[in-house]
Structure 1
């Protein structure tokens, strides 16, 4: 057996927690569901505002980045380019993100909203519009902003800062080297458990839908557990085989095939369903979504108590579900997004899947509503509470329904496989701290765990308990994602400063004449004593010569000094206008740990260094002059004095430069 790449600090505590929760859910499903559901309900009722504000912040932040100066930063080196074609990239992130969900809720959610009387609306038009509006809201930009934030944070710190592709890396600007210790392990354990629970519950519900479709088509006689075992064994085996081939082969190929099949099924329903009605309702629905975007974003329905249960069971549940899934989807999106610019990433992740979701939900959901009203006489509304079979019942209203249902089952199966194989890939990635190559048995282990636990929970009725556990984990992870924003802003600011920073002002007057002396100065240790010595020799001598020359030209200049901190300035006093001041003081700054520990960099003995910094008695930006010779410093002072005279001679500056309070060193 090949040596494992699993990290014990992540794998062991994760497995202990996963097995404890799973065993309790299997042995005591009713009790576990009752306890976890109570905790979930308490969170949804009392802390729903955390989800509302968090998701709102995620959307605002990504939109800000889209139009900010950071948008052109590339997720990788400045010269790096995407590893996957645009179509394959979108296909993979789409398949991993919401594949099975679209098949499961494409008809079910619009029909359930349409059938609900929670808003007290009985007219068909308003019911249909509300059904479409809230479906768009739950599957649109807000959902993908959650995935996008995690994916962007991971991509940026992994490919730009050369850190491991791990959630712990997203905290590097805040925790620095602590991300390699216990704090980093805690973050990855949380991500691994959340990912495992989310995939297990999704696959469990996906198996039920596949089984239900096979029964409707007459392929299997019933939905017994035996057939569910067969489905899981076959599909998880395919997922393991796909995961073993890697992202570039199995996952990529299956994702491309699935997107093509999904588009074909979409066009089939659009062409043979109420086409004109669907095109018109999509157009109006998109406008309705845009017009109500901000109202939907901030709405908590606090003024409509009768709507609150619906709000908790739909909007808040969705936000919690997307957040709980975001470590998994975000990691997978990050894995396939190297080389994209931040702007390209945000546009693709926010808009393209959202727009496709809107089209999908309109074609399937609005077709079902139209058939329910005009053909079925409420037959679909009557079975809206059975989402496992609703998609197939809807397809019975279309020609070639058996073929369409078979294709639907095939799509769900492939989505099942792509979700499972990308899930296996991501979980192994987390548990190994992004090891480049893991033994095959390790991949098989993750697939087997998913299959066994999902079947045990499905048979015992423990999937709902595990789903509640997944939703509970969303609350702390929402807070973690807010910290991602803080960390990402710090990283982007450092990034921008690094690439835009010009040469030091100290180097402006340099020529090659003194290059050996310059090199000695650059690599020399810069402690306080050496900087104080520079100020008390070079700077004072320069200011002294300037004072003498000013006096020869009829100008009285004074030299002011202070010993702690070491500071010296030359000042020319005026009665009406601001004094001219050019000062230098000893200043400290922190240096990177890497600079302290690196052998092939200048010898830095501590985490701080010192340098002589200018100041001017006003708000102008100071700068480092540590490499100036005496004559270069004299020249720099004269440049500032020439600027000063030019400013004070301008009549338009009279009000600005006049002052009664000229500050001096005391």
Structure 2
């Protein structure tokens, strides 16, 4: 049995993707263990090369992502739905916003909520001004970070729900690669995404472990926070995450996540109330205005005229931009899964505005409070700890009431964010590495990812701490950033095609209505159809029409025609399918659709034919998801003409833009 056959039998992995990824990771791990000093030196050389040659690229790319999204939102492409035209959102608007709010939370906000504003405040970049320190923090955590998430999640949602392709990164390149997304080109996309995501999660693992160890030390459960403690924390958290991933108890994890959000919100409210409340409320308004007014300048600023600030710029902004790119597949997949049925415009507004606004609020409460306490009460004691950022949150809480209780709550929040993020990370890694995105992953794969992430995180931390983890993220994110630029172009191309396709009207020559049989049609208009009437129409008119047309298409033109009937269900339907080999099948379907009639119409004396609050109609549907229409007034010949009208449109579009949006079948990924 070959190695590839073994992988396919025992796992859900794509053999090429998982083999190349594991080889690269194991190569790095072996080199780190054998020659840690040389590897650290090599990584530093690579980091400096990226800082020197590609800082401008990161800055320009992120800004282009933001303006690309704004352009989509204000253009006529913004009205396109992430799904069929008739599809309604899976979640209410407020529930969807709440989940976006949840996506904006995480270990990162807990780690940097106090630390980053203080670190900027202590750096010459802010010139001793709290406003400048907060501005730089908002820039790193605000709308630019979410624009990267929005690009990838919009592409994932659009191609999955509109094109009906698998919810996978390779699907985002369909307009450019067509069916080659199932070939080695698609494998290359998955490999780049898998490596970038893996190191992004591992970096977060390192931050979380350092802060959890510091918190346990702060409340007196540990005598010190050393490397051994962090190793124990990493393995403990990953063990819980793996158990969560393989248990299948999704509802329990969901309850834990929602509870954690409530705890985080309560912690923020506690800091707001117990801290300098009026100062924070005034600062929030001021911070928001300063951030918005400086947004364009910061979006393109590379500090080329300020060489003294280049070190700060690379160590903060560029590292952050790389980190967001590495997290983009992880966060993007989550956002895509909850956004079905939204319009492009609604999606962009929600993903950019809501989490960014919350980040401004979070950092205002924690960051401004920390700076105020440091200058008014702590006498610079907090600023002196900026070299150990993992300690700052807990030392900061010690200056507020109930420090032990709030530190315990903070530990719980960090732990649960840590566990649920790792759990979700395992799911995303399995998804990217899978050969079939709908296939359930064996439980042992969750264990494998947990062990792999833990071992790599520990090895890199031992080699050089968080700086080495950040360097690996910086290196692996660069090629993935290039890939995201191509993804954005692919998405734009698909949306343009989509607009042309669905805006195409039927040809004038296909309009056949006339004044013939007007009395019969009037009689049908002034009678309220019920489900038995629709069933009779399907059997006596629609089915004979489809059979007659099907025989002609089969015997004369040699087309493969299939007629599907479902008359024994609550919603009877009928469809004529003309099968294709390389394109999506042409489908002309008719289904019984129930409509609700207003009570006042039933009570209206001048409408005697309306006797019920429910009415039924035979409504068409098509394989491309367009809105259907009522055909109950058509005769057999007119129905045949209508089917031919739609088939004529189908053939006409196949010669032009229809090839881009329809010339595929949803097949399994190439093995």
- Scaled by the length of structure 2, the TM-score of the pair is 0.74
Q: Pick from 384, 398, 401: which aligns with 1:399?
A: 401
For structure 1, which segment, 390-399 or 293-302, has the greater mean C-alpha deviation from structure 2 after superposition?
A: 293-302
Question: What's the RMSD between the two structures over aligned residues?
Answer: 3.0
Q: Secondary structure at the match of 2:81?
A: coil
TM-superposition CA deviations, 1:82-126 (whole Å, max 9, x none): 44565665555555555111111111110011111135x34xxxx
Give the corresponding residue for 1:52: 59
Q: Pick from 116, 119, 125: which aligns with 1:109?
A: 116
Q: Distance in 2 between matches of 1:8 and 1:93?
A: 34
Q: 1:11 to 1:517 in 2, by over 3 A?
A: closer
Q: Is it true that 1:329 corresponds to 2:331 in the alignment?
A: yes
Structure 1 contact 27–460 (Cα < 8 Å) conserved: no
Q: Distance in 2 between matches of 1:346 and 1:57?
A: 15
Q: Pick from 6, 12, 21: which aligns with 2:28?
A: 21
Q: Secondary structure at the match of 2:78?
A: coil
Q: Distance in 2 between matches of 1:510 and 1:339?
A: 34
Structure 2 contact 12–439 (Cα < 8 Å) conserved: no
Q: Pick from 478, 481, 502: which aligns with 1:478?
A: 481
Q: Is it true that 1:597 corresponds to 2:582 in the alignment?
A: yes
Give the corresponding residue for 1:539: none
Q: Pick from 450, 463, 469: which aligns with 2:453?
A: 450
Q: Distance in 2 between matches of 1:336 and 1:421?
A: 18
Q: 1:453 to 1:92 in 2, by over 3 A?
A: farther
Q: Pick from 305, 308, 311: which aligns with 2:307?
A: 305
Instruction: Return the offset for 1:277.
Output: 0.5
Q: Distance in 2 between matches of 1:146 and 1:462?
A: 27
Q: Is it true that 1:72 corresponds to 2:79 in the alignment?
A: yes
For structure 1, which segment, 308-317 or 78-87, has the greater mean C-alpha deviation from structure 2 after superposition?
A: 78-87
TM-superposition CA deviations, 1:338-386 (whole Å, max 9, x none): 3333223212211111111101101111111101111111111111121
Give the corresponding residue for 1:143: 145
Instruction: Return the offset for 1:462.
Output: 5.9
For structure 1, which segment, 468-477 or 144-153, has the greater mean C-alpha deviation from structure 2 after superposition?
A: 468-477
Q: 1:395 to 1:135 in 2, by over 3 A?
A: same
Structure 1 contact 242–250 (Cα < 8 Å) conserved: no
Give the corresponding residue for 1:536: none
TM-superposition CA deviations, 1:388-432 (whole Å, max 9, x none): 101111111101011111111111101101210110000001111
Q: Secondary structure at the match of 1:437?
A: coil
Give the corresponding residue for 1:200: 202
Structure 2 contact 214–390 (Cα < 8 Å) conserved: yes
Q: Distance in 2 between matches of 1:418 and 1:91?
A: 17
Q: 1:45 to 1:226 in 2, by over 3 A?
A: closer
Structure 2 contact 104–359 (Cα < 8 Å) conserved: no
Structure 2 contact 32–459 (Cα < 8 Å) conserved: no
User: Where does 1:253-292 land on structure 2 (aligned, <5 Å)?
Assistant: 253-292=255-294
> How many residues matched?
532
Q: 1:354 to 1:457 in 2, by over 3 A?
A: same
Q: 1:252 to 1:336 in 2, by over 3 A?
A: farther
Q: Secondary structure at the match of 1:71?
A: helix
Structure 1 contact 159–338 (Cα < 8 Å) conserved: yes
Structure 1 contact 194–324 (Cα < 8 Å) conserved: yes
Q: 1:383 to 1:600 in 2, by over 3 A?
A: closer
Instruction: Return the offset for 1:491.
Output: 1.2
Q: 1:316 to 1:474 in 2, by over 3 A?
A: same
Q: 1:427 to 1:600 in 2, by over 3 A?
A: closer
Instruction: Return the offset for 1:600.
Output: 6.2
Structure 1 contact 26–462 (Cα < 8 Å) conserved: no
For structure 1, which segment, 173-182 or 76-85, has the greater mean C-alpha deviation from structure 2 after superposition?
A: 76-85
- Scaled by the length of structure 1, the TM-score of the pair is 0.74
Q: Distance in 1 between matches of 2:95 and 2:229?
A: 33
Q: Secondary structure at the match of 1:107?
A: helix
Give the corresponding residue for 1:621: none
For structure 1, which segment, 445-454 or 49-58, has the greater mean C-alpha deviation from structure 2 after superposition?
A: 445-454
Unaligned runs of 5+ in 1: 527-593, 603-626, 629-666
Q: Distance in 2 between matches of 1:403 and 1:187?
A: 46
Q: Pick from 17, 28, 34: which aligns with 1:10?
A: 17
